[in-house]
Amino acid sequence: AQKITQTQPGMFVQEKEAVTLDCTYDTSDQSYGLFWYKQPSSGEMIFLIYQGSYDEQNATEGRYSLNFQKARKSANLVISASQLGDSAMYFCAMTHSGGYNKLIFGAGTRLAVHP
C-alpha cells in the first residue's frame, strides 16, 4: 500500500538558517508525483513545490528545494534562509496509483522559526 511518512512531528530553526523537513514514501509505481504544501495557522493549504519521479534534477522554487533521492524513496524539503513567516505545518504528499488527482498525505511536520 502506498504511504507517506513524515517522522518529525515538530521542528524548530533559528531565523536565517536552513532547515530540512523529512519525507519518505512507499510505492510500487514507476510514475508518480511528489508535492509539498504549507499550512499556516490561518488554515489554508499552499502549494510549494513539485517533483516528478522521472525528473532528473531536484526541483527548486525560490527558497524551497526538494532533495529527491529516488533509490531511498525520500523527498525532503529544504528551506533556505528561514523567515518568521515560514512557521507553519508542512505536508508531503504523493499521487495515488488510483489516479493523478488522488493525493496521499503524510501526517505533517510543524515548523517553528525563532528570531
Residues that bind other proteins (CB under 8 A): 4, 31-33, 35, 37, 43-45, 47, 50, 52, 91, 93, 95-96, 99-108
Angle at 49 between CA 45 and CA 52, to 5 degrees: 125
In whole angstroms, how close is the CB of 97 to other proteins at the nearest point?
11
Shorter beta-carbon distance to other proteins: residue 20 or 53: 53
Q: How far is the CB of 71 from other proteins (least distance, A)?
A: 20
Angle, CA of 24, 86 and 110, to the nearest 5°:
45
Kindly state the smallest distance separating residue 81's Cβ from other proteins, in Å: 23
In angstroms, rounded to a whole number, what is the distance separating the alpha carbons of residues 20 and 37? 14
Shortest Å distance, C-beta 91 to other proteins: 6
Nearer to other proteins, 51 or 82 (CB): 51
Cα 113 from chain centre: 17
- Cβ proximity to other proteins, 55 vs 87, nearer residue: 55
Q: Where are the beta strands (DSSP E) in 1-87?
A: 3-5, 10-14, 19-21, 24-26, 33-39, 46-52, 60-61, 64-69, 74-79
